[in-house]
Amino acid sequence: MIEDKNPQKTSISQLGEFALIDHLTKNFSINHESTIKGIGDDAAILDFKDKKIVISTDLLIEGVHFDLAYMPLKHLGYKAVVVNLSDICAMNAKPTQITVSIAVSNRFPLEALDDLFAGINHAAKEYNVDVIGGDTTSSQKGLIISITAIGEVDLDEVVYRSTAQDTDLLVVTGDIGAAYMGLQVLEREKQVFLVNPNSQPDLDAYSYLIERQLKPEARKDVRLLLHALEVKPTSMIDISDGLSSEIMHLCKQSQVGCNLYEDKLPLDPQFINVCEEFDLDSTTVAINGGEDYELLFTISINDFEKIKGNPNFTIIGHMTQESEGIHLVTRANTKIQLKSRGWDAIAED
Ligand code: ADP
Ligand code: MG
């Protein structure tokens, strides 16, 4: 499906480790004052003065977290950075630096790694983070990418998962479920392609969904939007595994319950159409699909007026006492207990 636009193939084993690192990292630039020393020595040096430092790491394994059959390497590089920056944003912090470590088999030519690093560099520029180091090694099989993201924050601005109150409102940014349906579309096209490699898929009707899957964005704007509204979330998490699972995390760690309202879920029209096409229930997909990288947070009921009607935010529910449990309230006004994967009807109401 992905055309080979790089017929030239340079073997990385010929290049040697140091030449490879030099080649891959030559386009990175340093823009933050807090970066005293980036790539080039045994370690990087950072100086955050009076700010606190936030750190998060992710590991991405070929065949487990990504499939190169439909994930172009440039997109993979971009996404690998973005998913890490999303974790920094979920602490209400500002991403500032990343490190990039890769293990790669010699099945990958240099041109493939160039694509991967073009995506990484694009994300680094887009999100204004300095690439300050990493590691490059060989692997027996496949590609492994580990990115560590670093951010800065004032201690009184940090937002944890564990501090929601039982009277708070539950808010989500953007819309949800689209990345999962994008993956379904890509999986389907991959199967079609395996049967008929000459097929030219027309993916216009799925463009938003595919973009959400292949080129997700971290909500770095939310910290600033909320700051301007003078709202500090009482708890926050990013949506990587799925809304339902993230709500469970907030509730468990904050020792509260939650009512989530089916009719409030922010769904894109294309998402609704394609769920119908795949004969999937859009609510089930929206709450269980992952990789949206939107932010889910709670606010004090006193901040309701500041958030109400804002196109960036949707109030989708409210927290309750822990003993009330964690439920989806359906359009038919029945309560269904939320599970981290899938959900079951229970005999209430
Ligand atoms: P060491 O032998 O101490 O591990 P390396 O020779 O691996 O050092 O790395 C040299 C420099 O290049 C270091 O600053 C390191 O952080 C950086 N580096 C190595 N691989 C990468 C990579 N994939 N991305 C960014 N920087 C890298
Ligand atoms: Mg090294």
**CB within 8 Å of 261: residues ≥ 6 apart:** 316, 317, 328, 329
Q: Is the CB of 133 under 6 A from ligand 1?
A: yes
Topology given in CATH for the domain delimited by 32-157: 60s Ribosomal Protein L30; Chain: A; (3.30.1330)
| 298-343 per-position pLDDT tens digit | 999 999 999 999 999 999 999 999 999 999 999 999 999 998 664 4
Q: Nearest 5°: CA angle at 229, between 78 and 86?
A: 20
Name which residue sits closest to atom 16 of ligand 1, judged by CA: 133
Structure tokens that stand for 344 in this block: 């079951």
Q: What is the pTM of this model?
A: 0.93
Q: Is the CB of 102 under 6 A from ligand 1?
A: yes
Residue boundaries of the structural domains of the chain: 32-157, 169-337
Q: Which residue has the tokens 């290049």?
A: 15
Report how far residue 27's alpha carbon sits from residue 77's, in angstroms, rounded to the nearest whole number: 14
136 CA to centre of ligand 1 in angstroms: 7
**CB within 8 Å of 58: residues ≥ 6 apart:** 80, 83, 84, 87, 146, 147
Terminal CA-CA length for the chain: 50
Structure tokens that stand for 143 in this block: 């590609």
Amino acid at 84: N
Strand arrangement, sheet containing 130-138: 52-61, 143-153, 94-104, 130-138
Structure tokens that stand for 335 in this block: 């309560």
Write down the CATH superfamily of domain 169-337: PurM-like C-terminal domain (3.90.650.10)
Residue 51 Cα distances to 149, 151, 152, angstroms = 16, 9, 6
Q: Is the CB of 116 under 6 A from ligand 1?
A: no
pLDDT, mean over the chain:
94
Q: Is the CB of 120 under 6 A from ligand 1?
A: no
| 159-204 per-position pLDDT tens digit | 999 999 999 999 999 999 999 999 999 999 988 888 888 877 788 8
Q: What is the pLDDT of residue 79?
A: 97
